[in-house]
Structure 1
Amino acid sequence: MLERIHLVIIREVGRQGSLTAAAGVLNLTQSALSHTVRKIEDQLGTPIWDREGRSLRLTQAGQYLLKLANRLLPQFELAEERMKQYAQGQRGTLRIGMECHPCYQWLLKVVSPYLSRWPDVDVDVKQRFQFGGIGALIGYDIDVLVTPDPLNKPGLRFDPVFDYEQVLVVAEQHRLANVRYIKPEQLADEILITYPVETDRLDIYNQFLTPAGIVPKRHKVIETTDIMLQMVASGRGVTALPRWLADEYADRIAVTPVKLGKNGIAKQIFLGMRDADASIDYLSAFVELARQSAGKAPKMRR
C-alpha cells in the first residue's frame, strides 16, 4: 500500500540526488533509508529507481510517483499548517505568487492596508515556482497568483483587478523620446532590457516585435526595476513597463514612456485563486482590497 512517507522519501531523494543526502534531511541513517527504499519497491511490486553506481535514476514508475508527490504533499503540508494555525486561534497565511515583476510595487500598496485590517493573517510572497505560477496554484504552493496571463483551467478562477498600458521606456534624451508612438522596426538597433522571463511570455515580443518579424540588436536581462531604469536613463538600453510604473519612476529618474504602436498595448492584471478557496474570508478580502487599489494604477491612455 502506498503511504505518505513513501512519497516524502521519493520527493526527497529526487531533490537531493542521493540516498546519503536524503537520509541526512530525513534524519535517518543511510542503511535505514536503503532498507525503506527496498521495502517500498517490494510493497509496490516494481522498481522505483535504477541504480547506477552510487547514483539513482527514477524509473517510469518512479517518475510518476515523484509527480504525484509534488502535487499531493504540498496539500497535506498546507492542511497541517492551517490546522495548527486554527488550533492557535490564527487565521492562516496568505501565500501570494507573482508572475508580474513590475507589480511588486503595486502589491506593497495593497499588502500594507491588508495587514492592518487582518492582523491574524500572515503574508508570504513568492516569485519563483518549481512548475510555474499556474502549477504552483494548482499544487497548493500558493493561494493567490498575480498575473497578466490567466489560463482557463478547471478549478481555478481569475478576477481582473486593473487595466494598464504597456509602454516603451527610454532615456529623456533618446532619439525615440519624442515620437508619437514606436514602430517595431525602430527597435532593431536597440538593446532591449527585460525581466528574467521567457521571451514568448514578454508582451514586447509576442504582441509587438515577433508579429513584425523584428528582433532587437541585443536582449539583456536584469532582475530589479530600479537597476533596469538606471541603465535606461544612462542610455544603455530601452525597456517595456506598465505606464503607471514608468510614470512613477519618471518623477525621479530621467526616463520617459512612449506608446508601443499606433493603438498601444492594452493589458490587465488578474488575481488567480482556486475555486475551492473562494469562500475563505481573508482571501476574498484581499481580492476586494486589490480591486479598490486599482485607482492607483492609471489606465490605458489614448
Structure 2
Amino acid sequence: MIERTHLAIIQQVSLRGTLTEAAISLHLTQSALSHAIKKLESQLNVKIWSKEGRVLRLTQAGESMLSLANRILPQLEHTEVLMKQIAAGQKGTLRIGMECHPCYQWLLTVVAPYLELWSDVDVDVKQKFQFGGIGALFNHDIDALVTPDPLFKRGLIFEPVFDYELVLVVNADHQLAQQDYVTPEDLSNVTLITYPIEIERLDIFSKFMLPAQSSPYKHKTIETIETTDIMLQMVASNRGVSALPAWLVEQYTNALPIKAIRLGKKGIHKQIFIGLREQESEIEYVKSFVALAKQA
C-alpha cells in the first residue's frame, strides 16, 4: 500500500537527486529509505527509480507517484496545520443557536467585533432546531446557545451574559400607559403580539398570565425577517401590546410613540445565558465570544 512516507521519499529524491540528501532532509537513515521503497516496489511489482551512479532517476511509475505526492502532501500539511489551529482555538466555525428572538440586535453588537478579532473563524447563526436548542447543543449541531432558559445538564455549562427585565410595551396613549405596572387581568381585553413561539416558552404566558389563569383577548404572532421592528410598529399603531426586554424597548422609544410598563409590582427579571459543551468551553475563540458577549 502506498503510504505518506513513500510519497515524501519520492518527492525528496526528486528534489535532492540522491538518496543521501533525501535521507538527510527527512531525518531518516539512507537504509531506511531504500528499504521502504524496495518493499513498495515489491508490493506494486514496478520499479520506482533507477540508479545512474549516485543519482536516482524516477521511472514512469515513479513520476506518476511524484505527481500524486505533489498534490497530496501539501493538502496533508495544510490540514495538519489547520487541525493544530483548531486544537489551539485559533481557527474554526462557531455555530450559534438562538433561543432569544429579541437578542438578534444584541448579537450584532457582539458578532461585528468578534469577526474582526477572529478573521479565521466563521460564524453561523441558527434559529430552528429539530430537538430544541439544548438538543442541538448535545448533538453538535451548534457550538453555542443563546438562551434565557438554561437547562443544566452534565456535559453542558451556561455562562450568564446579562440581566434584563421583561416589560409590557404599549402605545404611549394606550389606557394602560398611565399605570406603574399591569396585572394579568389588565391584559384580558388587549391583543397580545408575540414572536412565533409555543405559549409555554413565552415568559409573558408562563410567568405572568398562566399562573393567574388569565389570557389576552387575542393572541397574534408575527414572523418576518424584521419581526421585532414589525411588532413594535404595530404597538406604535395601537394594534396591540407586546412583552419585550426593557433594554430593547429603550432603543425604540425615541423613534416610536411607545412606553414600557412593569409586569406586576415586582416585575419579571431574567438573564441571558450562553450554553456551551463543557469540553469545548476552553477553546480560545469560544472563550473570546463569551467574553465579548458579556462586554456587549
TM-score > 0.5 by shorter chain: yes
- Asked if 2 retains the 8 angstrom alpha-carbon contact of 1:145 and 1:273, the reply is yes
Distance 1:169 1:140 in 2: 37
**Is 1:264 aligned with 2:278?**
no
Match of residue 45 from structure 2: none
Match of residue 136 from structure 1: 136
Q: Secondary structure at the match of 1:252?
A: coil
Match of residue 250 from structure 2: 247
- How far did residue 88 of structure 1 move? 10
Match for 2:82: what amino acid? Y
* TM-score, structure 2 as length reference: 0.69
Residue in structure 1 matching 2:276, options 256, 273, 277: 273
- How far did residue 87 of structure 1 move? 5.7
- How far did residue 264 of structure 1 move? 0.4
- How far did residue 84 of structure 1 move? 8.7
Residue in structure 2 matching 1:228, options 227, 231, 242: 231
Q: Deviations over 1:236-268 (max 9, x none)?
A: 110000000011111211111100000000000
Match of residue 174 from structure 1: 174
Match of residue 17 from structure 1: none
Q: Secondary structure at the match of 2:229?
A: helix
Q: Deviations over 1:75-129 (max 9, x none)?
A: xxxxxxxx69926977111100000000000000000011111111111101111
Q: Deviations over 1:162-191 (max 9, x none)?
A: 000000000111101121001110000011
- How far did residue 153 of structure 1 move? 1.1
Change (3 A) 1:270 1:84: farther
**Is 1:287 aligned with 2:283?**
no
- How far did residue 192 of structure 1 move? 0.5
Q: Secondary structure at the match of 2:285?
A: helix
**Higher Rg of the two aligned structures:** 2
Distance 2:127 2:215 in 1: 27
- How far did residue 219 of structure 1 move? 0.6
Query: Is there any run of 5+ residues in structure 1 with no aligned partner, and where?
Result: 1-82, 294-302
Number of residue pairs aligned between Structure 1 and Structure 2:
211
Change (3 A) 1:88 1:278: closer
Match for 1:276: what amino acid? Q
- Asked if 2 retains the 8 angstrom alpha-carbon contact of 1:85 and 1:92, the reply is no
**Is 1:94 aligned with 2:94?**
yes
Match of residue 121 from structure 2: 121
- Asked if 2 retains the 8 angstrom alpha-carbon contact of 1:179 and 1:258, the reply is yes
Q: Secondary structure at the match of 1:197?
A: coil
Match of residue 153 from structure 1: 153
**Is 1:163 aligned with 2:163?**
yes
* TM-score, structure 1 as length reference: 0.68
Distance 1:88 1:137 in 2: 24
Q: Deviations over 1:143-173 (max 9, x none)?
A: 0000000001110000100000000000111
- Runs (4 or more) in structure 1 with deviation over 6 Å come to none
Q: Secondary structure at the match of 1:177?
A: coil
Residue in structure 2 matching 1:238, options 238, 241, 244: 241
Distance 2:128 2:252 in 1: 25
Q: Secondary structure at the match of 1:263?
A: coil
- How far did residue 201 of structure 1 move? 0.8
Distance 2:131 2:105 in 1: 24
Give RMSD over aligned pairs.
Answer: 1.5
Aligned sequence identity (%): 61
- Asked if 2 retains the 8 angstrom alpha-carbon contact of 1:85 and 1:91, the reply is no
